[in-house]
Amino acid sequence: MLLPLYRSAVMALTLVACLTVSAQCDPLEVDFGTEPWGLAPDGEETFFDAAEIDVPYTDDVHLLVPSTASEVVPDTPLDAPIDSVVISAVLLVDTIAGDTLYFAEVGMSYECNNLGDCTDPCTFLGGQQYCASFSGTPTVSGDFMLSLEVEVWATVFGFPLATPFSFSGFPFPILGEASNVEGMAKAEPRAYPNPSNGLFTLSGAEGSFAALRAVDGQQIRAWNVNSSSEQVSMDGLAPGVYFLELVAKGRREVLRVSFVR
């Protein structure tokens, strides 16, 4: 189901401000034929390379973005054109234990290449073909299935809307046994206490660019996060819900923060 999003301001900016990205994958390397919407490898005829504990890994994933919303959700009542698709997370599901891990939790990361079409390299425009590079040195072994989580953005009656979509069920085995846990990635960014009375602590976001936004997407404050734990004041703001957007190395995290008196 389509949900209102708060990043309309970002959408406008990303269509104007473009940067050159450093990802090495070639977006046009894969021929999707007549398919309007898809991922490669497809998990049926083509597959990700197997990874191995303590061995550097690299592989690519290619995404073909459709032009209209009906190509993603066939029963969409209004066939709106797709503005963009944003990669929000890469998850690994342990088929034996049932645990779900973020890519970073097993020592892996991803770097997107959208050919500089948008400031955020993981924002892919509608009707185009892009890619992302997977890399890292795995620290956790297991028989995993990979899921690529995306948000599909469209404008309906002048309002930016989006729906989550999951490319799931892609085999991603990591072989071997972990010798230690020192290579585990640091914790995901978090804000606490939440709700807060106007002052909260932001942890795990060192090196990120932070932007505090209202629910309509308006940027209220922006800064560079220079420490692993810092306090953020909401003085001068009205009580309510806000969104804290964190961008670092082609990855985006969004935290929902509440301010109560």
What CATH number labels 3-175?
A: 2.60.40
Look-up of token digits 């976001």: 205
63 confidence band (pLDDT: 50, 70, 90) = very high
As a whole number of angstroms, the distance between CA 84 and CA 70 comes to 14
Q: Hey, which CATH number is domain 190-259, 3.30.70.260, 2.60.40.3080, 3.75.10.10, 2.40.270.10?
A: 2.60.40.3080
Q: What is the mean pLDDT of residues 57-67?
A: 93
- Compute the mean pLDDT over every residue in the chain, rounded to the nearest whole number: 81
Q: Which pLDDT value is given to residue 22?
A: 43
77 confidence band (pLDDT: 50, 70, 90) = low
As a whole number of angstroms, the distance between CA 78 and CA 27 comes to 30
3-state secondary structure 55-117: CCEEEEEEEECCCEHHHCCCCCCCCCEEEEEEEEEEEEEECCCCCEEEHHHHCEEEEEECCCC
Q: Where are the domains of the chain?
A: 3-175, 190-259
